[in-house]
Structure 1
Amino acid sequence: MTVTDARELTGEIADDGRGGKTGAGLAELRRLLADVFGILVEDAAGDADRSRFRGRKYRLGQILGGYLDLWQGVSLAGRIADTSYVLLAPALGSADAVLDDGPVAVLPGHVLVAHPGEEMRLTVGRRCRLWIVNIPLSAIHIALSALGEATTTRPLRFDRLMNIRQGPGQSWVRMATLIRQELESEGALVEVPDVARAYEQALVETLLRVHRHTYSDQIERQSAPGVGDGGGQHRDHWPRVLRAVLQQIDEHPTRRYRIDDLAGDAGVSTKTLQKYFREHLGVTPIEYLRIRRLDLAHQALLAADRSTTNVETVMRRLGFRSYGHFSRHYQQRFGQLPGDTLRLPPG
């Protein structure tokens, strides 16, 4: 697997004479947007007979990104791939997007964040350089785990826009710029796989620290002085019963649990326990157990030696009995199949 990469992009979108756009350029642009940038384009239109583009794409571990220079304006309609977050930032010109929560104008100095599976219409103005970064779900989960949020029960949603001209967002862009310069330099240290993975993790972890999202408050509390690795202050205000059940599941995730037994051990009714889980975690106890096991499976597959480990061994060790059931839930959570995770370089 190629850990790092940087290469040129070029193409041309031509009018087909019937009001549509055609040519190798359009096919190439659609392919690039899907394969590199995680944007699945269903329809495209330009404001000139010929819309040229060029750019550059980069790979840093699982992260794919780069920029496109568009001489004429272009409008794209489609959706974000289910497996990744997409960041859009015009360095020159401007772009307008329509997403699930309405229209957004994106100007230089700001980054727009689109979420997995989100419908999007994107209109890019003339003479625009548009930076695009595709961050897989699995990279987000790895970074969350490193920051102390190993078990996430709700989809992570970022605030829509990040200011990169000042404040913490500017620091993230400086880091991204440094990494880009390294990727463009022949013989740079980033070509060493371990170094590339360290850069990749630092880039995603920093994004999670500087840009607001669903778990920002928990991460801030985990980082506060006096907070150990064992729990985190964000659970302190939860009911004692809920904390006891969570501790039981976290310490013994491979046991076979029944909701009645968990409630009985905690000294409350099944209805009360279900209520606590839904109020504070947004899931049922059994759903939480499945999420916890999936996260442990993900960590085990990332660390495994594929010459001596297979997916079924990890799956069964963590209490999953059906490969189809396990694989479906795993892909929904991490955006890739278990076997794809196992094939990633360790570390």
Structure 2
Amino acid sequence: MAIAGGEDLQACDLVSIAGLLRVCEMEMVLLGGHGPRAAFSSRATSTTILCHGEVGFPFRGRFVLPAEWCLLGYIHQMPEAGWCHGTPLESGVAFLLSPEGISEFKLGAHARLTVVLVPVERLHAHLIALEPHQPAQLARRLSLFKLNQGAQATNLREHFLGIGARLVQTEGTAGTVEVADADVDALIASYLIAGVAASPDDRPQCSRGRRTHYLVVQRTEQFMRANIRREIYINELCNAAGVSERSLRYAFDELLGVSPSRYLSLLRLCTACRSLTLSDASRRSVKSVALSCGLWDLSRFADHYRRVFGELPRQTLMRTPSLESSLSSP
């Protein structure tokens, strides 16, 4: 079933994409030299948030689910390498994210997914029905598995395909998406049954070496974010990660496909983009935003920003209405 295609992708801003989950904000770092293009359809009911879409760019993302929400998802296609907490992701993988700490992942260009956010208590009720004595342990076992050719996997795949198709069909039309509570309950039950039936070979594994690289990238990024306002040197990144420069470069190349210095540059740029999008133009300037992200060469920043996002930083800032005009509007 064809749900979306690359020809439907449109230019969009990072803040809009980051807010698609509604109950939380994603932090996103582009990993390529071109701006974000995507196609998304999203709907919310009183008890469920549903989203289907395709991203036309590689990016590193992270978010924290609120304590009362969990997320079920399915990867329709993943042409380029991706991962979740270092574990490889590929086409045909179903996943469950619980509200426990930061969810960290990388998606490649033209990854297409359907995700459904439901209250934790709703999932918990299904877990107890399936495993009354150890529901929490069962949930951990079902966090990531590939849907192969079994009847249970096929049933779950069809549930995700059906929800994705209905989201796309209703995009731009009046009214709410026609996904009933019974449909969502059927999806949850199908997910749990397919997860229990999955064999060990269906569960992606993170090798010891890859896990080490993931921790190196994680520690390095934490240092970058904590010191983003100032100049950061490669030896500081090595010290923060506890590895040699060669090992640091290997880790970033395997998991992100860019060098540590290139990632730092992209992190600064995307942080500036988010700040410009959310700032009040009457209270902040492009210069203050750039300096707060460690971007000292304003001409170079403006040129790089335009090449990636298709407009100058000033244009992004001016799209946000000032606080005074918002308060004075009827």
- The TM-score with structure 1 as length reference comes to 0.44
Larger Rg: 1
The structure where helix makes up a greater share of residues is 2
**More contact order relative to length (CA 8 Å, sep ≥ 6):** 2
- The TM-score with structure 2 as length reference comes to 0.46
